[in-house]
């Protein structure tokens, strides 16, 4: 059973977004890391980069495949997780915590438009069944 904390919002492309100290933290879900397998590389945008909701902000690559990470929100990158860049396995071991990817400024983002945990859970069940 995949782990879905209720304190954040989710996208259909399996990212999460959560407000923290006035910034939006972004990462990939437990389901996404499990599907990818061992993450061995993560490519993240530089601080100051503009990201747009629904467009790629970076990539996560495993021994098996590479996946784009789509930004759940629109804004400017304030910080990237250099620990995840140097030790990408943290995305597997702690996707909702130390495996976060970027922090984006909160202006112009509408987290409530994204899915809650229950809705994402239903989406996952649909996607897995189909």
Partner 1 sequence: MTEFAGWDMPLQYEGVVTEHRAVRNQAGVFDVSHLGKLRLGGPSARTALERALTADLATLEAGRAAYGFVLQDDGGCLDDVFVYRLGESQWLVVPNAANVAVVKNALRAAGATEVEDAWDRWAILALQGPSSTAAFESVWPSRGVSELRLHAWRTVEELGADGFVARTGYTGERGYELYIAWAQAEAAFERLLDAGCTPVGLGARDTLRLEMGYALHGHELGPEINPLEAGLGWAIAWNQPFRGREALLAVRGSGPSRSLFGVRCSSPGVPRRGCEVIAGDDVVGEVTSGNFSPTVGTGIALALGPAPAPEPGAEVAIKIRGRLIEGAIAKPPFIERALTKSNK
| Smallest gap from residue 62 Cβ to partner 1 (A) | 8
Beta-carbon contacts of residue 87 (< 8 Å; ≥ 6 apart): none
Per-residue exposure over 30-67, b if at least 16 CB sit within 10 Å of its own CB, e if not: bbbbeebeebeebbbbeeebebebeeebbebbbeeeeb
Nearer of residues 55 and 89 to partner 1, judged by Cβ: 89
Q: Give the one residue of 7, 20, 41, 127 binding partner 1; rule: CB under 8 A.
A: 41
In angstroms, the CA 85 to CA 91 distance is: 10
- 74 touches 105 (CB < 8 A): no
Nearer to partner 1, 24 or 91 (CB): 91
Instruction: Map residues 56-95 to x or -, x wherever contact with partner 1 holds by CB under 8 A.
Output: ---x-xxxx-x------------------x---x--x---
Find the shortest distance in angstroms from Cβ 108 to partner 1.
28
Residues in contact with partner 1 by CB under 8 A are 37-38, 40-41, 43, 59, 61-64, 66, 85, 89, 92
């Amino acid at each position: 059973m995949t782990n879905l904390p209720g304190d954040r919002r989710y996208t259909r492309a399996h990212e999460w977004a959560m407000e923290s100290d006035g910034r939006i933290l972004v990462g990939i879900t437990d389901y996404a890391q499990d599907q990818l397998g061992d993450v061995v590389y993560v490519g993240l945008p530089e601080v100051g980069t503009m990201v747009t909701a629904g467009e790629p902000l970076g990539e996560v690559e495993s021994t098996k495949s590479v996946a784009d990470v789509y930004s759940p929100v629109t804004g400017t990158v304030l910080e990237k997780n250099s620990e995840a860049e140097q030790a990408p396995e943290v995305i597997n071991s702690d996707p909702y915590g130390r495996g976060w990817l970027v922090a984006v400024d909160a202006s112009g983002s509408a987290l409530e438009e994204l899915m809650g945990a229950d809705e994402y859970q239903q989406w996952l069940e649909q996607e897995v069944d189909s």
